[in-house]
Amino acid sequence: MHTFYHFGRYFMLLHRTFRKPEKWKVFFRQLFRELENLGLNSIGIVLIISFFIGAVLAIQTAYNMENPLLPNYLIGLMVRDTMLLEFSSTIVALILAGKAGSSICSEIGTMRISEQIDAIEIMGVNSASYLILPKVVAAVLFFPLLSILSMFVGIFGGWITIIIKGLTTSAEYIAGLHYSVQFYYIGYSLIKMAVFAFVIASVPAYHGYYVNGGSLEVGKASTRSVVYSSILVLMFNLILTQLLL
Amino acid sequence: MIEVKHLSKYFGDRVVLNDISTVFERGKTNLVIGQSGSGKTVLLKCIVGLLEVEQGEILYDQVVFNQLPFQEQKDIRKQIGMLFQGSALFDSMTVEKNVMFPLDMFTRLTLAEKRERVNFCLKRVNLERVNRLYPAEISGGMKKRVAIARAIALNPSYLFCDEPNSGLDPQTSIVIDELIKEITEEYNITTIINTHDMGSVASIGEKIVFISNGRLEWTGTSHDIIQSGNKLLDDFIFASPFTRKVKDTFLGK
Ligand SMILES: Nc1ncnc2c1ncn2[C@@H]1O[C@H](COP(=O)(O)OP(=O)(O)O)[C@@H](O)[C@H]1O
Ligand SMILES: [Mg+2]
């Protein structure tokens, strides 16, 4: 019963969000603000995490290849496929759900409890479209770029590591990267990320928009929204993997 | 002029407003008074359409507002200015951008023209040289003034103020009250003010509506409020021992 209620209200909010903006000029101004807030400001964390995961993947793969019959280029292949298929989309999405999701929810929630949303509505402006649409559009446009960045940096992290630790040669690592290249993997990752981005922006926005009470409730809603969007990301990951691969 | 006819509002099965009918006049400061929790904010939010009403009619200059289709409601909303209890300024914008927001949304003015209008409104509320500050950097009284400036940016026909002097010192309260009254008369606005501040009642109460527990108990002016003979109203205005003593001394028991 409760679930249906939230579903209904969520889709009604989306319906109000995807209206023609009152003024395109204002929309683009907000969009650039969100591209910076949600996108540019997330680059750092994506860089750091991707680099280290790439490094760890290389070490662990090398460590597990005791059998001398296994070719060393497997390290490069392993790092590449893991980064392309899962890490750059699903894991990066989970990180962004924590970072961008909680900031979206607390920003909108604070505007709700301090009556700023009422102030927007009272002027005759559609507050859902004004506040939420630029965030959703910014996330869907920018998060896939973060995926691409994550792929490169992860593979680079692996490469640095094998050289420093002398796990294999640079040439073999690169041979692994070139081994039976599936460009489709990149497309698959980017499609997934676009869907995750929609979830990561819209679900916390929903939680923030309907906050009731004070700053304590905003905090709780923000936590809840991160949990829900993470679970939804994992669910969509399963569904999209079934559909696309 | 705004007219409310037989308005009732429920939250679940709790009656928060019970069959309220009254008229708020143009060019006057109409006050809604009552204890905390009596339903003043809910009444205001029903009138402006932020809350839906279950029963009754709300008329803006003879037009039944709460039954209009969405688009036409929006046209009336563009003529509404509202001052919220906590000012509700946009934290992420400077004072100038806050006042400019309605102009950005609904006019085709150039930036220079918008700036001029913003400066005019800020000057009208006696604020200068604050354009670049953020809401967090100015005092409570200044926030209220910025909020008034934002509310009058589009030349509204209707102005709503929810507890305009809550959280302000008595002197600043008087300044804000006077400002609202001046603006109301200057631009012939229909103004409705929620308050529980007896100072405002005495100084700007041209028409007063008293609600208690969601019911309209009394209507009148600041002149006849002291001798209303209404028990609930007396309890409300003479709540403190001091005011009770003043009453007993000057009016007799
Ligand atoms: N959204 C809401 N849901 C349920 N009850 C509410 C809501 N808003 C206000 N109320 C109740 O309505 C009553 C009137 O509240 P309000 O109009 O805010 O009082 P005040 O006169 O102090 O402004 C209060 O008892 C309050 O608890
Ligand atoms: Mg109130």
Task: Name which residue sits closest to atom 24 of ligand 1, judged by CA.
Answer: B37
| CA-based nearest residue in chain B for residue A117 | B88
Alpha carbon of B28 to ligand 2 centroid (Å): 21
Spell out which residues of chain A touch residue B103, defining contact as CB-CB under 8 Å: none
Instruction: Note whether A212 contacts B: Cβ–Cβ < 8 A.
Output: no
- Ligand showing the shortest atom-to-Cα distance for residue B163: 2
Answer yes or no: do A22 and B45 touch at CB < 8 A: no
At residue B156, the pLDDT reads: 94
Q: Are B91 and A115 in contact (CB < 8 Å)?
A: no
> How many CB pairs (< 8 A) connect A and B?
51
How many domains does chain A fold into? 1
Cβ-Cβ contacts under 8 Å, B86 against chain A: 114-115
Dihedral sign of CA atoms A127, A129, A132, A135 in order: negative
Neighbours of A219 (CB within 10 A): 15
| CA B37 to ligand 1 centroid distance, Å | 6
Which of A107, A190, A106, A111 has its CA nearest to residue A143?
Answer: A190
Query: What predicted TM-score, i.e. pTM, was given to this entire model?
Result: 0.90
ipTM exceeding 0.95?
no
Digitized pLDDT (tens) for each residue of chain B, 253 residues in all = 999 999 999 998 899 999 999 999 999 999 999 999 999 999 999 999 999 998 999 999 999 999 898 888 888 999 999 999 989 999 999 999 999 999 999 999 999 999 999 999 999 999 989 999 999 999 999 999 999 999 999 999 999 999 998 888 888 889 899 999 999 999 999 999 999 888 888 888 889 999 999 999 999 988 888 888 888 888 888 877 877 787 778 766 5
pLDDT per position as a tens digit, A48-71: 999 999 999 999 988 888 777 778
3-state secondary structure chain B: CEEEEEEEEEECCEEEEEEEEEEECCCCEEEEECCCCCCHHHHHHHHHCCCCCCEEEEEECCEEHHHCCHHHHHHHHCCEEEECCCCCCCCCCCHHHHHHHHHHHHCCCCHHHHHHHHHHHHHHCCCCCCCCCCHHHCCHHHHHHHHHHHHHCCCCCEEEEECCCCCCCHHHHHHHHHHHHHHHHHCCCEEEEEECCHHHHHHHCCEEEEEECCEEEEEECCCCCCCCCCHHHHHHHCCCHHHHHHHHHHHCC
Which residues' Cβ are closer than 6 Å to ligand 1?
B 11, 16, 34, 36-42
List chain A pLDDT tens, one digit each, 245 residues. 688 999 999 999 999 999 999 899 999 999 999 999 999 999 999 999 999 999 999 999 888 887 777 788 888 888 899 999 999 999 999 999 999 999 999 999 999 999 999 999 999 899 999 999 999 999 999 999 999 999 999 999 999 998 898 888 888 889 888 888 888 899 999 999 999 999 999 999 999 999 999 999 999 999 999 999 999 999 999 999 999 88
Q: What would the two tokens of residue A102 be?
A: 């909680």
Is A116's CB within 8 Å of B90's CB? yes
- Chain B residues within an 8 Å CB radius of A115: 84-86, 88
Inter-chain CB proximity A22 and B48 less than 8 Å: no
